[in-house]
Amino acid sequence: MMRKLRPTQVVESVHEIDLAHLQSLSKRALIFDLDNTLCRRGTKTPDSDVKRYISQVQAAGFRIGILTNRRRNAEDPIVSDLREYLPVVSAARKPSREGYVQILRLMSACPEETVMIGDKRWTDIWGANRMGIHSIRVRTYPRFPSP
Ligand SMILES: [Mg+2]
């Protein structure tokens, strides 16, 4: 596999992310992809399980942002809902650097302390790699509640 598409880590779903390990690597900020990472692709309605998961991760001490290629003009309730309490960059055109720069600025985070979590090599992982951001590829969206 091409180096640029190789994630730093691979996990089954967000439930398997080892937050303590990331803290030991001095990671403080997590950028999440939305579709097939935090929820099933195309989910439009706000999801209380996703919200609960996000607050758990925040309680562990991480800043969180959402970076999605969903189009702004198709903004749906789940995106507007997340936007109320998190930095969200939509229509991000991953793997373009621009969206990453934007979300890092909104999160007041630098690449070295940040982790990108997403399901797609050609967008999430490639984009993170070219920014020098630790990347975690999830194989699937989470089934809540956590196992
Ligand atoms: Mg995705």
Tell how far the Cα of 124 is from the centroid of ligand 1, in angstroms.
8
Give the pLDDT score at 71.
87
CATH homologous superfamily for the domain 3-138: HAD superfamily/HAD-like (3.40.50.1000)
Tell how far the Cα of 108 is from the centroid of ligand 1, in angstroms.
23
List, for residues 34-85, the tens digit of each pLDDT value: 999 999 999 999 989 999 999 999 999 999 999 999 986 667 899 999 999 9
Tell how far the Cα of 36 is from the centroid of ligand 1, in angstroms.
5
- pTM of the full structure: 0.95
Give the pLDDT score at 144.
77
Give the pLDDT score at 147.
54
Q: How far apart are CA 8 and CA 135, in angstroms?
A: 5
Beta strand residue intervals within the chain, DSSP E: 9-11, 29-32, 63-67, 88-89, 114-118, 134-138
